[in-house]
Amino acid sequence: MTHWWRHAAIYQIYVRSFADGDGDGTGDLAGVRNRLPYLRELGVDALWFTPWYTSPMADGGYDVADYRDIDPLFGTLAEAERLVEEAHTHGLRVLVDLVPNHCSDQHHWFQEALAAGPGSAARERFWFLPGRGESGELPPNDWHSYFGGSAWTRITEADGTPGPWYLHMFAPQQPDLNWEHPEVRAEFEDILHFWLRRGVDGFRIDVAHGLAKKPGLPDVGPDPDPTDLPYQDHDDVHDIYRSWRKILDGYPGDRIFVGEVWLPSAEQFARYLRPDELHSAFNFDFLCSSWEPAALRDVVDSTLAAHGPVGAPPTWVLSNHDTIRHVTRYGRADTSFDMGDKRLGDPSDLTLGRRRARAAALLTMALPGGVYIYQGDELGLPEVQDLPDAVLQDPTFLRSGGADRGRDGCRIPLPWQPGGAALGFSPDAATAAPWLPQPADWAPLSVAEQTADPDSFLTLYRTALALRSARLTALPETLTWVDTPPDTLCFDRAGGFRCLVNATDTPVPLPPDATVLLSSAPLEESAEGRVLPADSTVWLDMN
Ligand code: NOJ
């Protein structure tokens, strides 16, 4: 029997925006518990919860103040325990988000470090360094925060004198932990045990490439080699994952680590997936690829080539809570994605984007390996690009001085009903509006409307996931490319299964004897027989 995670469909729950159980306008664990039947019926194997821990929410929960408790906005620890049990009853595994690169500035370790004063042991758990310049007025090195601006913030000591600087690769409210410190390592090993004992099936590791820094924290310099940056992918990080893997393997069940690994080279990426490290990692090369057959084929090939030698299953992901939703991306003139330049506001033809997103869903689900679905992908939700400044909450908006409008547009609360409080996101007795406003025209995208529609996005996802389980997940993790007209992608899996993607703007003929299993758009008839219309995918049985 193959391991479940080699071919799993994993659904990402951005807790704040999934379902609001208590009516305060923010999604919570009660909301998720109510919707477990929906997730089971969708046909996914596992749920990944974005951070649900105690947090001041400076970065939507990726600023953790207590790794062993649940934020009151979301519920209680007892409720999380019940949720894990109930998910298991529904046949759904549970992955929690581990945020080890940094904690919140409200975490008791950081508060202690601030209070303990210069040279104290409490400061050793972080990166406190003296500034450069005559009176330490310049940051210790030239590193930039991923959210914009310097990666350093200077503190003021209790007596009012200017103190050292501390490192934060993200927002100032997210101080980086010093992974050279044995207490940091011991603490996270204990956190792993804490959640493993509560029955979770694994962890998604935030910024998995970033924990270890190059000793001495040297400057990046003016013309850096992107494969050799001092703040990421330092070799010591692999020791951390080897020790974590031993802990995980000591628990019964088939539990896993999934890494958030953003690195420029496939060789660097694959090292995280060696047999004694992480089980899998998100395939961001695929997410960033344009909707062009040659680019897609290249990324499929390079993915398979990188994963093969380390024996890890590839994964396929189209969107997450940090990216522009792919319905919107695929409707733009440039369909690629660049985290550093999201081009929010670029015009998008959403009819075209939806069509391609449906085709892309069938492509990802036909490929060997695992697939990630970000909540709302199954509803075909677009990016919301016109949120007013006043409602934006993502720190990237403020840190970039508004140049980057941030990631709020892919985090809009889900529409469950065509009417009611926040389109069914909140209960009818809700006391507050949703934490981000939903567009006025989202009623037809709601779960209830789409459930009733055989041609909806949701029906396509449900049907595809069921077929994938029945036909594909037990197959060898290989594919064979089939020669087809330029601008189409065609591959065979074992058992006579064929996937044909037409990314051109004209129809392509179908093999005459094939049986159609599922198509992302209605097939058309021509004088030569059945054809697959533009920007569509079909699954065929060639037996
Ligand atoms: C990656 C997470 O996906 C993102 O949402 C977060 O802002 C950063 N890591 C920092 O934790």
Give residue 340's pLDDT band: very low, low, confident or very high (50, 70, 90). Answer: confident
The confidence band for 1, taking pLDDT boundaries of 50, 70 and 90, is low
Residue 487 in tokens: 């601008």
Cα of 353 from ligand 1 centre, angstroms: 26
Q: Which of ligand 1's atoms lies nearest the C-alpha of 320?
A: 3
Atom number of ligand 1 nearest to Cα 99: 11
- Give the torsion through C-alpha atoms of 277, 282, 283, 286, to 10 deg: 180
Average pLDDT over residues 321-330: 98
- The verdict on the CB of residue 127 being under 6 Å from ligand 1 is no
Query: What does the alpha-carbon distance between residue 241 and residue 237 come to, in Å, rounded to a whole number?
Result: 7
Closest atom of ligand 1 to CA, residue 396:
7
Mutate which of 17, 145, 322 for ligand 1 pocket (most atoms within 8 A of beta carbon): 322
Alpha-carbon span 114 to 443, nearest angstrom: 49
Q: Which atom of ligand 1 is nearest to the CA of 62?
A: 11
pLDDT at 280 over 80: yes
Ligand 1 mean position, distance from CA 321 (Å): 9
CA 59 to ligand 1: nearest atom: 7
Write the residue with the smallest CA distance to atom 6 of ligand 1.
62
Residue 388 to residues 212, 393, 402, 411: CA-CA distances in angstroms? 38, 11, 12, 14
Distance 500 CA to ligand 1 centre (A): 35
Decide whether any atom of ligand 1 lies within 6 Å of the 62 Cβ. Answer: yes
Q: Give Cα 228 to chain centroid, integer Å.
A: 24
Q: Which residue has the higher pLDDT, 198 or 528?
A: 198
| pLDDT, position 345 | 84
Report percent pLDDT > 70 for the chain. 100
d(CA 201, CA 521): 36
Residues 6+ apart with CB under 8 A from 2: 473, 474
Q: Does the Cβ of 97 fall within 6 Å of ligand 1? A: no
| 403 CA distance to ligand 1 middle (Å) | 19
Given a cut of 90, whether residue 142 has pLDDT beyond it is yes
Reported pTM: 0.98
Ligand 1 proximity of 317 Cβ (cutoff 6 Å) = no
Summarize pLDDT for 478-496 with one digit per residue, the tens: 999 999 888 899 999 999 9
Q: Give the tens place of pLDDT for each residue, 28-71.
A: 999 999 999 999 999 999 999 999 999 999 999 999 999 999 99
Q: Is the CB of 176 under 6 A from ligand 1?
A: no
Say how far apart CA 279 and CA 35 lie, in whole Å: 28
Distances (CA, A) of 158 to 130, 155, 172, 359, 472: 16, 9, 19, 59, 62
**Domains of the chain listed by start with CATH number:** 4-104+181-461 (3.20.20.80), 108-167 (3.90.400.10), 478-541 (2.60.40.1180)
Q: Is 105 in the pocket of ligand 1 (CB under 6 A)?
A: no
Q: Whose CA is nearest to atom 4 of ligand 1?
A: 322
Report the nearest-CA residue for atom 5 of ligand 1.
Answer: 322
Active site residues: 206, 260
* Cβ–ligand 1 contact at 207 (below 6 Å): yes
User: Could you tell me the distance, in angstroms and rounded to a whole number, from the CA of residue 467 to the centre of ligand 1?
Assistant: 33
CA of 365 to the centre of ligand 1 (A): 26
Average pLDDT score over residue span 405-419:
97
Q: Which parts of 445-524 fold into alpha helices (H)?
A: 447-451, 457-471
Residue given tokens 């087809």 in the structure block: 484
State whether the beta carbon of 59 lies less than 6 angstroms from ligand 1.
yes
As a whole number, the mean pLDDT across the chain is: 96
pLDDT on residue 390 = 95
Q: What is the mean pLDDT of residues 462-467?
A: 98
Give distance in angstroms: CA of 52 to centre of ligand 1: 13
CA atoms within 13 A on the CB side of 45: 19
Residue 97 Cα to ligand 1 midpoint, Å, equals: 10
Tell me, what's the pLDDT at 114? Answer: 98
Measuring from atom 3 of ligand 1, which residue has the nearest CA? Answer: 322
Q: What is the pLDDT of residues 419-431, one digit of tens each?
A: 999 999 999 999 9
- Say yes or no: CB of residue 282 within 6 Å of ligand 1: no
* Dist. CA 432–CA 28, nearest whole Å: 14
Of all protein residues, whose CA lies closest to atom 2 belonging to ligand 1? 206
Residue nearest to atom 10 of ligand 1 (CA): 62
pLDDT at 175 over 90: yes
Is 206's C-beta closer than 6 angstroms to any atom of ligand 1? yes
